[in-house]
Amino acid sequence: MKTAPRTHPNVPGVDQSDRLVPRNLRQSGPTPVQMLISTRVRKSPFWHLSVEAGCWRATVYNRMYHPRGYVKPEDGGAMAEYDALVNRVTLWNVAVERQIRVRGPEAEAFVNRVITRDATEIAPMRGKYAILCNEKGGIVNDPVLLRLAEDEFWFSLSDSDVLLWLQGVNVGLGLDVDIAELDVAPLQIQGPLSEEFMAELFGDAIHDLPYYGLMEAELAGCPVVVSQTGFSGEKGYEVFVRDASLNAELVWYEIRSLGARFGLRVIAPAHHRRIAAGILSWGQDMDIETSPLQLNLAYQVPRKKQSDYIGRAALEAQRAAIDEGRSPFRLKLVGLAMGGKPITDYAPDFWLISTPDGARVGYITSPWWSPELGHNIALGYVPWEMSGPETAFRVELPEAYAERTGQPVDAEVVEVPFRPSKTPSARERAHAAGRDWAS
């Protein structure tokens, strides 16, 4: 007896044939379960302080519990946190950004080998957004890279285990460096009042701190490193607490106490705001099987870097294909303006993108409601040949957000960022100036 052919359960209409591990596009919806808190996952030194501040939900990031909500839905939820970010000043527990130090006589040579951009151009007490790729050009991590001294760099990580990768790379290179995780835990202070508030904490030197600049300081008698960086698109800073297992409480309470007159609010990392700024999230918008050339991050792959780096041959081959008008990728990440009821919380699935005639061809990675634009916005993958501005699509939203039950909503490819940032990224500044940020 013949059996019916099996239908692949992972949405076969979306071409992911250039991936070894395709994205899981099953639409499973919300899964209301209680998170188990155990000793297998680390609690940061700020974890109990976040709980004290009202944290009611969390995820796991870099094998550490990560607060992802303080304001309850009945009190305004994530959009109330958004209001505090864009109008006042906010405090984020981002200790999950583990700090991996590379230090030693050959630190610069080692770092230059593992990042795509040129480490020799990063001066001491400055930082840069950086990308680490594997030999195929896939993104291993996209940290903020801080240079504390000629012989010392910190990788402030996104969500992948780079410590072991860096140590493994140096088994082959054998360079004279020490690679280890530090007892340093960062906090972010973000929002339009952040500079005024930071000056209250650290004095007028804050006003002279440039974008991606660093300074050593003390707060509540504790040593910290301050940078003008952040994950929001708003003006903002990070405070890296040294010896955090001992000093977390002192620094946290000092910030909260002095922040009261600025209307400081403790919130979760602002994915609703970073989407509007075009800031990407590792594991969500990119991973080890996506290339920076798929993600409008070509400026991270300089054409003229003098020294070799991991992934260079693959990335240069990909760029050559693009320069010749050929796509080396099935899909490309784009910005989408789309309809639907306001999306005011995290999406539990990669929602599907289809053509106007109903063919499923892509998926949404990061959607949210933009109060300023008055409609939903999203980052998502679509076929490379269909990635031009104003290309029309439809998005299959869950019923809670659909305009009509069972009907996809209209969407259109638009420029990213969706709206200007208070502190624009290198890509945003180059785009605004009309420069080729791929050079």
- Residue 410: Cβ-neighbour burial (10 angstroms; 0-12, 13-18, 19+): middle
pLDDT at 9: 63
Omega into 408 within 30° of 0, i.e. cis?
A: no
Q: Which DSSP symbol is given to 309?
A: -
Query: Considering the chain, what percentage of its residues have pLDDT values greater than 90?
Result: 88
Kindly report the backbone phi and psi dihedral angles of residue 39, in degrees, each rounded to the nearest multiple of 5, phi listed first: -80, -5
pLDDT on residue 439: 34
> What's the mean pLDDT in 56-76?
97
Which pLDDT score, from 0 to 100, does residue 134 have? 98
pLDDT digits (tens, 9 = 90+) for 22-54: 999 988 898 888 889 999 999 999 999 999 999
pTM: 0.94
What digits encode the pLDDT tens for the residues 359-378?
999 999 999 999 999 999 99
Q: pLDDT by residue (tens digit) across 329-344?
A: 999 999 999 999 999 9
- The topology (CATH level 3) of 279-432 is Gyrase A; domain 2 (3.30.1360)
Long-range contacts, stretch 83-87, CB < 8 angstroms, 24+ apart: 84/191, 84/263, 84/265, 84/267, 85/190, 85/191, 85/232, 85/234, 85/267, 85/270, 85/273, 86/191, 86/192, 86/234, 86/273, 87/191, 87/192
Position 436 scores a pLDDT of 43
pLDDT above 70 for 195: yes
Give yes or no for residue 435 having a pLDDT over 60. Answer: no
279-432 has the same fold as 184-263: yes
How far, in Å, CA of 421 to CA of 431, rounded? 13
pLDDT value at position 35?
Answer: 87
Q: 187 with 93: CB under 8 angstroms?
A: yes
What percentage of the chain exceeds 70 in pLDDT? 94
pLDDT band at 430 (very low <50, low <70, confident <90, very high): low
Summarised one tens digit per residue, pLDDT across range 207-247 is 999 999 999 999 999 999 999 999 998 999 999 999 999 99
Encoded tokens for 427 = 């890509």
pLDDT exceeds 60 at position 438:
no
Domain range annotation of the chain: 184-263, 279-432
Q: Is the pLDDT of residue 437 over 50?
A: no
Of 100 and 296, more confident: 100
Q: Is the pLDDT of residue 125 over 80?
A: yes
Q: Residue 434: its pLDDT value, please?
A: 58
Residue 280 has pLDDT above 50, yes or no: yes
Kindly report the number of other CB atoms within 10 A of residue 388's CB atom. 11
| Mean residue pLDDT across the chain | 94
Which residues carry a binding-site annotation for substrate? 238
Binding residues are 238
Select the CATH number that applies to the domain covering 184-263 from these four: 3.40.50.300, 2.40.10.10, 3.30.1360.120, 3.40.50.970: 3.30.1360.120
